[in-house]
Every structure is written in structure tokens, then in C-alpha cells.
Structure 1
Amino acid sequence: MKIAFVGFGGVGQALAEILEDKKEVLSKQYGLNATVVAVSDMMKGAAYDPDGLNIPQLLTAVREEGRVDAYPNAKEYGLDSLETIKHTNADLIVEVTFTDVQTGQPAIDHCEAAFKHGKSVVTTNKGPVALKLEELQAVANENSCFFGFEGTVMSGTPALRLPKTTLMGNDIYEVVGILNGTTNYILTEMEKGLSFDQALKQAQEFGYAEADPTSDIEGYDVRYKAAILSHYVMGEKVNALDIPCTGIADLTDEMIQSAINENKRWKLLARIRKTDQGVEVRVGPEKIDATHPLASVQGATNAILYECDLSGPIMLTGAGAGLKETGFSLLIDLIHAYQVDQKISVS
């Protein structure tokens, strides 16, 4: 499998490192021999070699020089993202660009271009999946391409693969999740006595929150993830912007402590539920009993609870962020893409 990276920030570099570190295991256990042939990053430049780039040298160039094009002896430099997608010999595009989640761009254009040129895509970008999953999947199917987006909801924790594989045969009638580690960390620290502002500042110092934490604090990040879950798991397409959404900014110290005194906990939850009128989706803080499975989820951790008719409630918990963890989510999709391709080739 020949791979091209479009975007090569921390997540892309983490995946490249995983591919190098685990190349023998991937080959022996899965038959996957992945070769990185191209990297294009808007800020770091680009390098292409149809015979493959040396990953250690590539990572050294980026980490020491800050430039992909500091990589020595590539066959070609300077290709932009669309040129890399269209004109290299890559079989699969790892799409990890900085993308506006409200428009899904430039990731949507990258995915469409890749599929139309017969190239599969794996991505961690929420925008394309939340906004245009049906359309993109149709283009992928038309061109016999794989579209993988496991990391869009819970990073390296397989929140999308689980209901589609392990829980097959169940009717999943409700999904409830803590899908943002930043807000869960803040609420956990407020339970320990910190004010909202103190907890937010600490989250920023530890790298859990961005300098502008609006998307996390107001619940917007969770809203897009809820839209993905509704469409992919429950089969109902919803516009992310139509999902009722409330963040945690209005939760006071008194509200947090009062809940504790009632043996309850505040959590920012996405709730996707089947009703007689269709699927109902909402995002907002809820005060849940301390005995609820999600109440014990602490810190910058994510968790998701599937309510199933046959197996009963199934909960999955794990890291909802982190470079290596998100890189792992891409690896899950890479392996799956390879296995799907092998089945098609054999048939």
C-alpha cells in the first residue's frame, strides 16, 4: 500500500512513526507493507518519491528543520495538496489537514478528489463526515474506494467500529457519550474545588484546551460528533447546526458542589435516542446519578454508552485525544482498508 499524507502536523507524524515502529508486526500479522510516497503540508512544504520516502529521515527533517522539503533526495518537491492527491502514485490518502469544521474545507475537496482518482481516504477530520458523509461515501463506492474516519468521534477509542462489528445484531436504541475530554477535565477539577476559570486555565496549561476554547466549552465539538453518531450508527442524517446544544460555561461552583451533595455529577453529554418520531439528538450538561456508568469517568477521558436490546448497556472508554492515540485511529482504518482491498482483489 502506497500512502500520501495531506497535512503533516502532530497526528500525521504520529502515524508515520507508528508505521515505522510497527512495520514488521504489520507485515507479519496483517500482510500490510505500507510505503509513504508523498507528504504535502501547506506550512511545511512537500516531498514525493514514487519509490518511497525514508520515514526516519522524513521525521528528522520536519522535527529539526521544520520543513518536509528539508528531506534529502526526493524525486519532486513543492506539490500542493490536490497535486499530491491527483498526480502521485499513492493508493491511499491520509487526510489530516487543518480543516474548518463548519464548512468541512479543505478536507471535503481532498476526499472528493481522491475518490474520483481511485484513491482511498482515511481521515480524523470531523467536518467532512458530519456534513457530507452520504455524498462522500457514494463517490467512494462509485470508484471502489475505502473511506475511513474512525478517529472523528473518540480518537483512538473505536467508537464507530464497535457498534458496526462487535455489536452486530443488536438494535442500538440510545447512544450517550462524554465526547470531549477538555470539558470533562474542567468539570472534574471543579468537583475538586477549582473555579471554572481556574480549571480552564489548568486545562490550557496541560494542553487539553486550545488558546481559544470556545468549540469545547460551548459544546460545538460534541455537536459535530453527535451528528456523526446519529448518521453512522443510528442511520439518521441530521444537520449538526440543528442539534440543540448547550455548553458548560454557565455551570457554577455552587451547582457542581450541590450535585455532589446530592450524590450526582454534572457531565457534558451527547444523547442520541430513537423515538417514535425518529432520532432525537441533543448536547448539553446533565446532572446524573453517581451510580450511572458515565458518572465515574474522570479527567480528560471520553466514554460512550450503547443501549442495546440484546446485549444490554455496553460502555467503551478511553483517550479522546492525544497524538499517538489519534494516529492509532488512522492505523485501524489503514489495516481495514488493506483488508477490504485484499478481499476485492481475491474476488
Structure 2
Amino acid sequence: MTVYNIALIGFGGVNRALAELVAKRNTLWERELGFCLNIVAVSDLRLGSVVSPDGLDPRMLLQANFAPGGFGRLSGGRSQADNEMIIKSAPPDIIVEATFTNPKDGEPAVTHCRWALKARKHVVTANKGVVAFAAHELNTLAKAGGLSFEYEGAVMSGTPVMRMAEKTLIGTRVMGFEGILNGTSNFVLGRMEHGMDLSSAIKEAQALGYAEADPTADIEGHDVRLKVAILANELLGASLKPKDVACEGISRLSSQDINTAINESSRWKLVGSAIRGKDGVVVGTVAPRRLSLQHPLAAVGGVTNAVSLDTELLGSVTIAGPGAGRTETAYALLSDIVAIHADRSKATAAA
């Protein structure tokens, strides 16, 4: 039975949820997946950092009500985050990068992943910024070192759109895609259909925890822009940077626009899309679109995400599921570790 030592970089909602899964399901994973996870280090901007080569009790990490700098009270702990030391140190086999998403350049998460791969650690992340800005570089580093850089959760959280397209739909050739890739904006548009104005719908989304205090990234399409760049590069073989994706959000839509669409058997959705032209050039866009009720994305409501893939052999294939959520995203990280384990098992069998 294989034990993977993991280091959690960032201990917010997603990595806390992964720690919860480790606490509850490690024994099950041993039996069903052939491995278990041992948390040997955690680093967090608020809490500090802690390292234990023998492993940290995930229940202790979750149940202790740590004050800022609280990891400094633990054996092997410091009151300040020391990401570089933890990432480059010997104990971890896998670095789980779950710090905040920087939509401008992906830092500091890009540097975290670079450090890890150069130190011969596998990396799993759900950080959109890392993947949108540096996937090519980091995949090249990983391949050169015989390592894995996995990021299934970067687009649709626990819904495996990239792995499904690349593994299950292999041979169909994806020509383009269009999707609802931001649950917050989709929720807001749905509430506007029920009579709310934009401002009130955003406030409700914030009260429910769907929107941040500053909802700009969701409402103006910046979050979707990152995801379009990721999907275009992964599924269409493009080399797009986020700045290459034309972007317009939903802030210009009025209640009258929403009502007119309803009266004409259609509805507004914020759609991220990319298509490969006959010349081979891939063009990505984010914009509000008025969809007929027969469109496969028109019925996608609430905070659900969905992507319709345009394939040569099957036509349109639509994948829908949770696009956010701490447990859902933690599952995506687990699925990435499963992929690492499968690759290692194949390599061992072939040796």
C-alpha cells in the first residue's frame, strides 16, 4: 500500500476540505484506491507553517481554533508562513497548492509550483491563475523531471471536464466549446429573471456566499476569461493568454433586457467560448449571449456550470455539474492524486 506525503500550501476552504476528507476517508482510500495521504506540512499566510515528517493529525488541524500565527505553538511550527522552505523540503511527495487566485499574473502560486517541480515534487492545484498563465511552462518542467502537474479543478471544480474530454472523448477531436463557467453570474441572471435588479441580485449572492465582497471578477467576466484560456489551451491546443480572450461581463444588462428575452422565449447567459477556425487559429471570447430555450445551456440554472463541446464525431456533448464548492474542489484535488497514482503504477509495472 502506497503512502503519499503531502504538503498543503494555503489552508483556506479548499485545503481544509481536503484535510477533512483525509480524516474521514483515508482508510477507505487504502482499500479502494491503493493509497492513503499523510499530511506532513501546512503553510498558510494567516496561521504560519508547520512541518512534521511523521505526519500531522488532520483532526487536530481542523478542530483547533488557531489564532493568527497559531501554527507557531505546534512542534515544528512557525508563526510565519514559510512556503519556500516547506515546498523545497524533503518530506512532501506532492504539493497541494491552494492559495488565492491572482487574475493578473498567477503569482505567487506560479512560483510555488515552479519551486515544487524543480525540487522534484508532484503538484496538484485548482488555482486558475497558475494554469491560465503558466501551464505550458509548468507542464514542460514536470515532463522533464518525470513528474505530474495536475489541475482538473481549475475550470469546473469537481466536474471533470478536462479529463473527460481528453480521456473519455479521445479521438472525437474537439473543434470548440461554449460554457457557463461562473456560478455567481449565472445565479445573478437567474434572480434578475425573477424581478430583481442587478444590484439586489448581487447582494443576495453575497449574502448566500456565492459572491465575494468585491464581485467584479464574476460580474465582469474576468473569472470566465481565465477558464476560457485554460480550456482553449487544453482542449484545442491553443496558446492563449487571458489577455487574448475578448471579455465583456453582465453589468450592462438591464431588467428590460432580461424581460424582453423572457417574452421572446430566450434568456441571457454569460457564455465563455472558443473555436478553432478553418485556418487553425483559436479565438476565445466571454460575453453575455441571448440563448433560445432550446439551447443546451439555456436550462442551466443557479450556480451550476456546464460546457458544450463541439466534436467532429459526436456533435455537441454537454457536461454539467458543480462549478464551485470547497468539498467539490477538494475532490478535484483527490482526483488529480488518483491520476498521479495511476501513472506511477503504470511506470512501476512497465519497469
Q: Which category of TM-score, normalised to the shorter sequence, fits these structures?
A: over 0.9
The residue number in structure 1 matching 2:56 is 53
What residue is the counterpart of 2:127 in the other structure? 125
Where structure 1 has 5 or more consecutive residues not aligned to the other structure, the ranges are none
Q: Secondary structure in 1 aligned to 2:298?
A: helix
Structure 2 partner of 1:85: 87
- Give distance in 1, aligned partners of 2:69 and 2:14: 16
- RMSD after superposition: 1.4
SS at match of 2:313: coil
Q: Which amino acid aligns with 2:43?
A: S
Question: Is the aligned partner of 1:41 residue 2:44?
Answer: yes
What is the correspondence of 1:190-269 to structure 2 with a 5 Å cutoff?
190-269=192-271
**SS of alignment partner, residue 124 of structure 2:** strand
Measure the CA separation in 2 of the matches of 1:211 and 1:76: 32
Match of 2:316 in 1: 313
Query: Which of 318, 329, 334 pairs up with 1:331?
Result: 334
1:287 maps to 290
Report the residue type matching 2:331 in the other structure.
Answer: F
Query: 156, 162, 173: which is aligned to 2:175?
Result: 173
SS at 2:30 equivalent: helix
Distance in 2, matches of 1:238 and 1:320, equals 22
Q: Which amino acid aligns with 1:262?
A: E
AA of the residue aligned to 1:50:
P
* 1:158 and 2:196 aligned: no
Deviation at 1:39, TM superposition (A): 0.4
Give yes or no for the alignment of 1:12 onto 2:23. Answer: no
Q: 2:109 aligns with which of 107, 110, 134?
A: 107
Structure 2 length normalisation: TM-score? 0.95
What's the secondary structure of 1:272's corresponding residue? Answer: strand
Q: Matches of 1:13 and 1:116 in 2, distance apart?
A: 26
Assess if the C-alpha contact under 8 Å between 1:122 and 1:148 holds in 2. Answer: yes
Q: Could you tell me whether the CA contact under 8 Å between 1:48 and 1:88 is conserved in 2? A: no
Distance of 2:60 and 2:220 partners within structure 1: 41
**Structure 1 position 341 matched with structure 2 position 344:** yes
3-state SS, counterpart of residue 286 of structure 2: strand
SS for the counterpart of 1:294 is: coil
Q: Determine the C-alpha separation between the residues in 2 that align with 1:330 and 1:67.
A: 26
Corresponding residue SS for 1:296: coil
Q: Distance in 2 between matches of 1:170 and 1:130?
A: 24
Residue in 2 that maps onto 1:270: 272
CA contact (8 A) 1:57 1:71 kept: no
Q: 1:55 to 1:66 in 2, by over 3 A?
A: farther
Q: CA deviation at 1:66?
A: 5.7
**Inter-partner Cα distance in structure 2 for 1:19 and 1:279:** 40
Amino acid at match of 2:203: K
Give the structure-1-normalised TM-score.
Answer: 0.96
Structure 1 residue 3 and structure 2 residue 13: aligned?
no
Indicate conservation of the 8 Å contact 2:103/2:222, yes or no.
Answer: no
CA distance in 2 between counterparts of 1:271 and 1:111 reads 27
Q: 1:21 to 1:67 in 2, by over 3 A?
A: farther
Contact 2:310 2:316 in 1 (8 A): yes
The CA deviation at 1:311 is 2.1
**1-side partners of 2:152 and 2:288: how far apart?**
25
Look up the equivalent residue of 1:80 and give its one-letter code.
D
**Residue 153 of structure 2 contacts residue 329 of structure 2 at CA under 8 Å; is this kept in 1?**
yes
Mapped contact 2:48–2:77 kept (Cα < 8 A):
no
What is the number of equivalent residue pairs in this alignment? 345
Q: How far did 1:312 drift?
A: 2.4
Partner secondary structure for residue 207 of structure 1: coil
* Residue in 2 that maps onto 1:141: 143
The Cα shift of 1:70 comes to: 6.3
Pick from 77, 81, 96 the counterpart of residue 94 of structure 1.
96
- Are 1:120 and 1:147, in contact at CA under 8 Å, matched by a contact in 2? yes
Contact 2:72 2:78 in 1 (8 A): no
Distance across 2 between alignment mates of 1:316 and 1:234: 17
Alpha carbons 1:38, 1:88 under 8 Å: kept? no
Native 8 Å contact 2:23 2:58 kept in 1: yes
2:307 partner letter:
I
CA contact 1:200–1:209 (8 Å) conserved in 2 = yes
1:124 deviation in Å? 1.0
